[in-house]
Amino acid sequence: MFKNGGRFYISVDLEGLACVIGEYGKGLGFDTPGYAYARGEATEEVNAAVKALYDCGASEVWVWDSHGKGYNLLYDKLDPRTRIVMGAGSKKRFPLIETGFDGVLFIGYHGYDVPNAVLAHVYSSLTYQYMRVNGKDVGEAQIDGAIAGKYGVPVIFLSSDDICVSQAKESFPGVKTVVTKRSLAWNSCVSEHPETVKKAIYAAVCDAADAIAPEPFVFGSPFEYEIRYKRIEYAESCSLRSFDNTPFERVDAYTVKGTLADPEDILR
């Protein structure tokens, strides 16, 4: 699939990891019982993917700590060959992806809001009820995939719960995946054992490196973008503007919509 010397960008979230469910009635906050475990598990699942990429001829692998404020992984335990993108304050997702990469990989991602999806949300479980592009619900995988696609970089791998994996396969035909757990409810799952997951990630990433390169994922331009917030005042204070510089339309008390030309404008 990729010539020797390929560059790869791994984005790692925490909610889709093996044996991670947050705390009942809460997400995966820094103060929840499973957070310390999730940090270590994320580091190990990333290392499995990094090893696979280098074993298949990669010359450079970047790991982006993309959960919350970007300070989650056990950095001294990461494969020393990685470059680590971390912290908050960057004005864009996938910092420096425009320098050229052969593929992006999503580890520990979660689904968008559907019944029984473990820890499902879109960027903030406190802020957004849903995001839709061209009338279809999208999650972080789809938006991040479109941002990578803007720079010509395809999504080649995703690991998560069964619901998020199903959503990803619909969006990214041919993507290689690993199911880490079966969703039962927002804070409940049947998980695969972490060691089983790490072995599966290694094998699937090797398959991704050997497969025919997929097309980058795009929304098309322009595209309709709709947000439903969880609080009325969030909709009232929305300052998004369409690509023609007109304000987003207020659909109802909680919902706004408009038309964008650039997927990076979704989060600006």
Q: Is the pLDDT of residue 213 over 90?
A: no
Model pLDDT, residue 3: 57
Tens digit of each residue's pLDDT (9 = 90 or more) over 85-124: 999 888 789 999 999 999 999 999 999 999 999 999 999 9
pTM passes above 0.85: yes
Model pLDDT, residue 56: 95
Q: How far apart are CA 131 and CA 135, in angstroms?
A: 9
Residues 6+ apart with CB under 8 A from 162: 179, 181, 182, 183
Tens digit of each residue's pLDDT (9 = 90 or more) over 230-265: 999 999 999 999 999 999 999 999 999 999 999 999
Residues 6+ apart with CB under 8 A from 143: 122, 131, 133, 263, 266, 267
Q: Is the pLDDT of residue 52 over 90?
A: yes
Model pLDDT, residue 246: 97
Judge contact between 185 and 35, C-beta under 8 A. Answer: no
Rg (CA), the chain: 18
Amino acid (one-letter) located at 90: S
Judge contact between 82 and 51, C-beta under 8 A. Answer: no
Instruction: For each of the domains in the chain, give its residue range(s) and CATH number, in order of start.
Output: 7-114+138-210 (3.40.50.10780), 223-267 (no CATH)
Q: How far apart are CA 256 and CA 268, in angstroms?
A: 15
Tens digit of each residue's pLDDT (9 = 90 or more) over 146-201: 999 999 999 999 999 999 999 999 999 999 999 999 999 999 999 999 999 999 99
